[in-house]
Amino acid sequence: MKRRLVMAAAAAALVPRSGSAQSPASGAFPDRPVRFVVPYAPGGSTDTSSRIVADRLAQVLGQQIVVENKPGGGTIIGTEFVLRSKPDGYTVLLTPAALIANAAFGTKTPYDIDKDLMPVLGFVDLPMLLAASNSAPFATVAEMKAWAAAQPGRTISYASAGVGSLTHLWGEYVKARTGLPMEHVGYKGSAEALRDVMAGHVPLFSDVLVPTATAIRAGKVRGLAVAMKQRSELLPDVPTVGEAGLAGLEGTIPFGISVPAGTPDAVVAKLNAAFNEALADPATRAKLVELGFVPVGGKGPDYGEVIRSEVAKWRKVIKDSNIPPPG
């Protein structure tokens, strides 16, 4: 377990401000450090995004934010730890996208997300994208469709981070909605898949924005479409799925902020306001965008609806495409 104390500025810790916590003497939340549990190992982009926001959050709340990594069990260990904690707002979960995947696959977990989890807000989204190798016989979605139409009986192999990954599910979603003859090739992680796409071994890649955006900007692969309603700031020359002729196929890997069910409404509201303020900070937002994330924010019920709708969508894709759970 690795800890890091993110310290608020001294002035912020001593001077109450509108929209921030009051001094500990007042008894208002928070009057002691807040634990921010990240169910991933230290050093990855998700962990980094949490620490970036925690820096600003400490200033907003006027308290230390203890970022604590609790990886393992496909994020189940860290999630269970938070959802079994005292519902007082002092233990907060970076809610992983794996929570959605687990529910969609029917994976048994020691908690019930419908009963044990209180959504606070959406945190960041990690958009998906389609990329093609430089040796592929197409450089745009339109060309890919034309090639497929002219080559009846031939398939287009596409790589993903692995069987049952959300990028695999999105690839199957694209296949089902477009009728393209796509055939999945699963890898053990995005980096391994990207290497084979760059080498021309697989023509198509269903992945997330980073690190593939770096390869696209370097000219090592071609960006076909980003699964967003607006173009990515990292890839302004790559069309959205709507612009590319894949309307309605937007897809992201959503992360959120949650606390245990039973946390007082006033505490949830305070955390919601503080995280929204931190995510709206221009410097914080710029750092998140550079990592490939889209800051979200909003209200708890909105994030709760994202969880429900994403579980339902991917559950149908899993059933229709007969996808086995990740091994």
Q: How many residues does the chain have?
A: 327
Cβ-contact 16, 22 below 8 angstroms: yes
Tokens at residue 268, please?
Answer: 């949830």
Reported in sequence order, the residue ranges of the chain that DSSP labels E, i.e. its strands, are 2-6, 34-38, 65-69, 91-95, 117-133, 156-160, 182-186, 204-208, 221-226, 252-260, 294-297
State what percent of residues in the chain have pLDDT above 90: 89
CA distance 63 to 122: 22
Tell me what pLDDT residue 21 has.
35
The CATH T-level fold of domain 2-125+254-318 is D-Maltodextrin-Binding Protein; domain 2 (3.40.190)
Tell me what pLDDT residue 19 has.
36
- Look at residues 193, 45, 210 and name the one whose alpha carbon lies nearest to residue 132: 193
Tell me what pLDDT residue 326 has.
83
Is a pLDDT exceeding 80 seen at residue 20? no
Q: Is 86 helix (H, G, I), strand (E, B) or coil?
A: coil
Tell me what pLDDT residue 229 has.
94
- Look at residues 139, 213, 137, 125 and name the one whose alpha carbon lies nearest to residue 170: 125
Report which residue type is found at 240: T
* Lowest pLDDT segment from 7-16, 149-158, 269-278: 7-16
Q: What is the mean pLDDT of the chain?
A: 91
Q: How confident is the model at residue 18 (pLDDT cuts 50, 70, 90)?
A: very low
* Lowest pLDDT segment from 1-10, 109-118, 120-129, 132-141: 1-10
Domain residue ranges of the chain, discontinuous segments joined by +: 2-125+254-318, 127-251
Q: Where are the alpha helices (DSSP H) in 22-150?
A: 45-61, 76-83, 98-105, 113-116, 141-150
Q: Which residues pair with residue 223 across a beta bridge? A: 131
Tell me what pLDDT residue 56 has.
98
Is a pLDDT exceeding 80 seen at residue 296? yes
Q: How confident is the model at residue 99 (pLDDT cuts 50, 70, 90)?
A: very high
Tell me what pLDDT residue 27 has.
60
Mean per-residue pLDDT for 86-95? 98
| The two domains 2-125+254-318 and 127-251 share their CATH topology (first three levels equal) | yes
Q: How confident is the model at residue 211 (pLDDT cuts 50, 70, 90)?
A: confident
Backbone angles phi, psi at 21, to 5 degrees: -65, 150
CATH architecture under which domain 127-251 falls: 3-Layer(aba) Sandwich (3.40)
Is a pLDDT exceeding 50 seen at residue 135? yes
